[in-house]
C-alpha cells in the first residue's frame, strides 16, 4: 500500500469531488477540544488539517505518523509556506501497523479519513495500539465516511463509498474493501463521544471523543 502516486493529485481531486466539505469535516470540531499539549496525528496526508491544527493550537507538540514520504513532503512544504516551519511538528515516516507509539504520552489523538484504510482484523490490533499512546484523559478527534442508516441516503452512500474503495484499492493497493464501524473499538478503548457533526447528507462525520 502506498499513497505516494496519489499524493500530488490528492488536493485537486478532493476539491473536485467534495469542494471544501472534507476540510470542513476535519476541522469542524477543533473548537470543541480542550487545548492539547501533545498531539499524535495518524495518516495526516498533505498537511491541510495539520496547518489548521497548528494555527489553532500553536503551543502543541505534534507527532505525525505517515506512511507516504510524498505526503510528508507536501505537509512540510505547506507548513513552511504558511510561515509555520517553526511549529513543533515531528514527522515519522512509518507504517502505523508496525510503528509502536510511546505509551500514555499524547492528550489528543487525530485520525482523519485514516481508519477507513484498514480491514476489521487490522483495526482490532491498531486501535488498541493507538489508544495505548493516549494519556488517561486524552481526547480523540475522528473524521471519516459512513454509510447512512436507511433510504436513498443509504443507497447513495453505499455507491459512493464502494466507488472510493475501488479507486483507492486500484491506485494505492489498499487491502481494505469496506468501511468498518470503529465505534465498538473506540468505546472499548475508553473513548466516549461528546460532539458529532455530519456533512454531505451524512456521508461524512466527525467526532470528538474523550476518555
Ligand atoms: C485517505 S488518506 C487521508 C489523508 C488525510 N488525513 C485526509 O484527511 O484526507 C490516508 C492517509 O493515511 C496514510 N496511511 C494509510 N495507511 C497507513 C499506514 N498503515 N500507516 C501510516 N499511514 C498510513 C496514507 O499515506 C494517507 O496519507
pLDDT tens track for 27-38? 999 999 999 999
Q: State residue 144's pLDDT score.
A: 98
Residue 168 inside a domain? The answer is: yes
Tell me, what CATH number does 55's domain have? 3.40.50.150
Structural domain includes residue 108: yes
Residue 1 inside a domain? The answer is no
Question: Is the pTM here over 0.95, yes or no?
Answer: yes
36 lines ligand 1 (CB under 6 A): no
67 lines ligand 1 (CB under 6 A): yes
- 42 inside domain: yes
Distance (Å, whole) CA 193 – CA 183:
9
User: Which tens digits make up the pLDDT trace of 60-78?
Assistant: 999 999 999 999 999 999 9
Domain count, the chain: 1
Contacts of 35 (CB under 8 A, 6+ apart): 57, 59, 60
Q: Where are the beta strands (DSSP E) in 16-133?
A: 38-42, 61-66, 89-93, 106-112
Distance 57 CA to ligand 1 centre (A): 22
In three-state secondary structure terms, 24 is helix
Residue 65: inside a domain, yes or no?
Answer: yes
User: Which secondary-structure segment (H or E) carries 71?
Assistant: helix 69-81
Reported confidence tier of residue 86, pLDDT bands at 50, 70, 90: confident
Which among 162, 148, 146, 137 has a CA at the least distance from the CA of 33? 137
- Regarding the beta carbon of 113 and ligand 1, being less than 6 Å apart is answered yes
Work out the average pLDDT over 20-29: 98
Pick the atom of ligand 1 nearest to 10's CA.
9
Q: Which domain holds residue 40?
A: 7-210
pLDDT over threshold 90, residue 85: no
- Look at residue 70 and tell me if it is in a domain: yes
Longest Cα–Cα distance in the chain? 49
Question: What pLDDT is attached to residue 159?
Answer: 97
Q: pLDDT tens, 91-141? A: 999 999 999 999 999 999 999 999 999 999 999 999 999 999 999 999 999
Q: What is the mean pLDDT of the chain?
A: 97
User: CB of 17 closer than 6 A to ligand 1?
Assistant: no
Per-residue model confidence (pLDDT) at position 87 = 78
Confidence of residue 13 (pLDDT cuts 50, 70, 90): very high
What residues form DSSP beta bridges with 207? 142, 196
pLDDT for the residue 9: 97
Domain-embedded: residue 176:
yes
Instruction: Establish if 2 belongs to a structural domain.
Output: no
Amino acid at each position: 500500500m502506498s499513497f505516494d502516486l496519489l499524493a500530488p493529485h490528492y488536493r485537486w481531486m478532493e476539491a473536485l469531488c467534495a469542494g471544501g466539505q472534507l476540510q470542513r469535516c476535519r476541522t469542524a470540531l477543533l473548537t470543541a477540544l480542550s487545548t492539547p499539549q501533545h498531539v499524535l496525528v495518524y495518516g495526516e496526508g498533505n498537511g491541510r488539517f495539520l496547518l489548521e491544527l497548528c494555527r489553532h493550537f500553536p503551543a502543541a507538540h505534534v507527532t505525525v505518523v505517515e506512511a507516504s514520504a510524498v505526503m510528508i513532503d507536501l505537509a512540510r512544504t505547506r507548513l513552511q509556506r504558511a510561515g509555520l516551519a517553526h511549529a513543533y511538528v515531528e514527522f515519522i515516516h512509518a507504517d502505523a501497523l508496525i510503528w509502536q507509539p510511546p505509551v500514555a504520552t499524547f492528550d489528543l489523538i487525530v485520525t482523519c479519513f485514516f481508519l477507513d484504510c484498514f480491514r476489521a482484523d487490522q483495526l482490532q490490533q491498531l486501535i488498541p495500539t493507538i489508544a495505548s499512546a493516549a494519556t488517561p484523559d486524552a481526547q480523540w478527534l475522528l473524521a471519516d465516511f459512513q454509510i447512512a442508516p436507511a433510504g436513498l441516503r443509504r443507497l447513495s452512500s453505499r455507491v459512493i463509498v464502494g466507488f472510493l474503495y475501488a479507486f483507492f484499492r486500484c491506485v494505492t493497493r489498499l487491502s481494505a474493501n469496506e468501511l468498518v464501524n470503529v465505534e465498538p473499538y473506540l468505546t472499548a478503548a475508553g473513548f466516549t463521544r461528546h460532539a458529532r457533526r455530519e456533512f454531505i447528507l451524512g456521508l461524512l462525520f466527525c467526532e470528538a471523543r474523550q476518555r
